[in-house]
């Protein structure tokens, strides 16, 4: 059974820089020019917008937060128990596909 962390734990760890990237997320962070500082900033006001309890490898969720410069970020986070939060993927959401970046249009 997977020990699931709370969202407050996830938010704190992201804001404190206690996260790792999947290989996919590492490629995306470079391609999309998303800095560690932006991830930390977006975590401060992040909210869960979708949950994936039956995800392929472990339960996960999609979170939305904004940087200090108001850059919107979506991050899919593994909910599996590990030392650091694992970011599965991250991107700047397309406004044409999202209402307020939190609900699919």
What is the distance of C-alpha 84 from the center of its chain? 13
Sheet with 85-91, strands from edge to edge, namely 19-21, 85-91, 72-78, 60-66, 47-52
Q: Where are the domains of the chain?
A: 7-104
pTM over 0.85: yes
Residue 100 has pLDDT above 50, yes or no: yes
- Which of 29-43, 44-58, 69-83: highest mean pLDDT? 29-43
Q: Could you tell me where the beta strands, DSSP code E, fall in the chain? A: 19-21, 47-52, 60-66, 72-78, 85-91, 98-99, 103-104
Contacts of 58 (CB under 8 A, 6+ apart): 2, 78, 79, 80
Q: How confident is the model over 56-74, as pLDDT tens digits? A: 888 999 999 999 999 999 9
């Amino acid at each position: 059974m997977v020990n699931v962390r709370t969202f407050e734990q996830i938010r704190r760890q992201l804001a404190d820089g206690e996260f790792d990237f999947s290989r996919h997320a590492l490629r995306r962070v470079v391609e999309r020019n998303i800095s560690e500082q932006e991830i930390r900033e977006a975590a401060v006001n992040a909210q869960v917008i979708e949950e994936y309890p039956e995800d392929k490898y472990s339960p996960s969720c999609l979170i939305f937060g904004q940087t200090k410069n108001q850059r919107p970020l979506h991050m899919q986070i593994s909910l599996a128990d590990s030392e650091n939060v694992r970011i599965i993927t991250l991107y700047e959401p397309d406004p044409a596909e999202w209402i307020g970046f939190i609900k699919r249009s």
